[in-house]
Amino acid sequence: MKPILAIENDELLPGLGLLGKRLDARDRPVHRVLAWRDGLAGLRASDYAGIATLGGDAHAWAEEDFPFLRDERELLADAVEQDMPVLGICLGAQLLARALGAEVRTAAAHEAGWLEITPLEAAADDPLLGHLDGPAGVFQWHSDTFELPEGATRLAESELIENQAFRLGRAWGLQPHPEVDYTTFASWIANHPGGAEEYGLDEAVLHHEVRKGDQATLQWRTAMFDAFLGLVDGDRTTS
């Protein structure tokens, strides 16, 4: 069985969160890469059954400052060309959008906190976003946004940022962080002292909101990751 490639993109945002728990539950082989340390040069999409790439503070276009971003963009483009299941989250979604020819730019507003996203009509029968049957909270922390790649379907929006999720073939880009459970959040915020206050948030309140929201949305987030891993394991019903 080929492994799934899980790419972490930021030393200060470690871990796979709920995605990692679902991988463990399936006892599935995983190749975890710390992109900032290990790099991605030489990796081939054909060596994997699927790719999941996560968030980071870098701008997706900053390939001169972060050379691994170019390799990652090219790897994602190759994976999509091979009709491989791909899941990009936050920075990963922005890199996927760029791999598909779309622009990534600074957003008009910074989205930070446990915020609501709303699925669109097109999400109703989507293999992943179809598990979200109405507006729901999810962790957000980003200042950039992606344009919709040509031919892609927009699946979700939020009050501040129009493009929250898209699908093209068997590749999904999600701007929010459905993998973030409370434990993951607590680790990340500890690595960014003063980060909440910088964006006008009360860190104690944010802890409460994430802890409560994690439990309230666990069912659909679990179902979404399980659906993606089902595709990786060979369900081609969404081709």
b/e for 150-185, b at 16 or more Cβ within 10 A?
eebbebbbbeebebbbbbbbbbbbbbbbbbbbbebb
Which of 10, 89, 12, 84 is closest to 43 using CA atoms? 84
Confirm whether 177 is a catalytic residue. yes
Q: Is the dihedral of CA 20, 21, 26, 29 positive or negative?
A: positive
d(CA 172, CA 154): 10
Catalytic site residue from 8, 72, 142, 177: 177
Query: Pairing relation of β-strands 4-8 and 136-146?
Result: unpaired
Q: Specify whether 59 is catalytic.
A: no
Q: How many residues does the chain have?
A: 239
What's the burial of 215, exposed, middle or buried (CB within 10 Å: 0-12/13-18/19+)? exposed
Among 90, 131, 142, 209, the one annotated catalytic: 90
Q: Rounded to an integer, what distance in angstroms lies between the CA atom of residue 157 and that of residue 166?
A: 10
Out of 8, 72, 111, 179, the active site residue is: 179
CB atoms within 10 A of CB 29: 12
The answer to whether 209 is a known catalytic residue is: no
Indicate which residues carry an active-site annotation.
90, 177, 179
